[in-house]
Amino acid sequence: MTSEPTMSDSKNTLTNAVHDLLRRAIIEQALKPGMRLPEDTVGEQFGVSRTIVRHALVRLENEGLVITRRNRGAFVAEPSREEAQQIFEVRRCLENEVIRILCERLPSNACDRLEAHVRSEETVKGKDGPVSIRLAGEFHILLAELTGNEVLARYVTEVVLRCSLIMSLYARTHSSDCAVDEHSQIIEAIRAGDAARAIGIMDHHLGAVAGRAELSPRADSIQSILSRYGKELAQ
C-alpha cells in the first residue's frame, strides 16, 4: 500500500523545481552575475511561495551560484578572478580522478550514454552559446556520475557549475566546436583504458576553457595611469 504524498513532499518537489530552473537560468546566462533575485518576484513568476524560493536560493548559495547580502537579499554570484583560478585548479584535480576511475572500471553502458550526450551537443554546435555551455558542463557531470562515487560526483557538479558561471562573467568567447571534438576524444581514450591519454586530453581541454576566461588582472591602460598623474597639473 502506497502512502499519500505529504505536504513536506510537495514542498520539496517545488523547491527542487525552482532550484533547477534558477540554476539553469544562471548557467545559460539568462540571469547575469550580480543580478538581484528578489524572493517575491521569483515566487510570482513561478507561482510558488517565498518560503519555497528561499529554500531554493539557500541551495544555490551552498553551490556557490548565489550570494546573500545582508539587508539586500540574494544575488547571482560574481566570483573574483582569484576565486575563479582556484576553482579551475580544483576542477582539474577532480576530473583527473574521474578519468582514472573510469579507465579502471567503466560501466557497461557508459560510452553509449556519453556518445548520446555528445550527439546532443552537436545539435546546438555553433547555434546557441548559452545552451552549448550548459551541455558541455553536463558532459563532465555525466563523466563523474558514471564513476559511481556519489561524493566525487557532487564535488565535480559544484565546480563545473561554478566554472560555467565564471565563463559567463569572464570568457571572451565560447567555441563549442573544439569542446565537442575533445569530448569525443576523451570517450575514445577512456574506452581504450588509456588513462594517460585521456588525462592529457582533459588537461588540454580544461586549459583551453580556462584560457577563454580572462582570469589574469587586466593591466591599467596608459590613459588611466597618466590621468592620475595629470590631475596634479590641474591643481
Residues 91-104 pLDDT 10s:
999 999 999 999 99
pLDDT given for residue 228 in this prediction: 58
With a cut of 80, say whether residue 41 has pLDDT above it.
Answer: yes
Per-residue confidence band for 168, with pLDDT thresholds at 50, 70 and 90 = confident
CATH topology of domain 7-76: Arc Repressor Mutant, subunit A (1.10.10)
Give me the percent of the chain exceeding a pLDDT of 70.
82
CA distances to 22, 23, 49, 59, 65 from 45, in Å: 11, 15, 10, 19, 20
The CA-CA-CA angle for residues 103, 107, 113, to 5°, reads 100
pLDDT given for residue 134 in this prediction: 85
Beta-bridge mates of residue 75? 36, 67
- Distance, CA of 181 to CA of 118 (rounded, Å): 9
Per-residue confidence band for 119, with pLDDT thresholds at 50, 70 and 90 = very high
Q: pLDDT (tens digit, 9 = 90+) per residue, 207-226?
A: 888 777 666 555 455 555 56
More confident residue, 116 or 226: 116
Per-residue confidence band for 28, with pLDDT thresholds at 50, 70 and 90 = confident
At residue 111, the 3 state secondary structure works out as helix
- Distance, CA of 77 to CA of 8 (rounded, Å): 29
Q: Which amino acid is at 12?
A: N
pLDDT given for residue 90 in this prediction: 96
Domain regions of the chain by residue span: 7-76, 81-211
Label each residue of 33-92 as H, E or C.
CCCECCHHHHHHHHCCCHHHHHHHHHHHHHCCCEEEECCCEEEECCCCHHHHHHHHHHHH
pLDDT given for residue 1 in this prediction: 44
b/e map 52-87, b = 16+ CB within 10 Å: bbbbbbebbeebbbbbeeeeeebbbbebebeebbeb
- Evaluate whether 7-76 and 81-211 have a shared fold: no
Name which of 32-36, 175-179, 205-209 the model is least confident about: 175-179
Q: Which CATH number fits the domain 81-211, given the four candidates 1.20.120.530, 1.10.287.130, 3.30.300.210, 2.40.440.10?
A: 1.20.120.530
| CB 84 within 8 Å of CB 211 | no
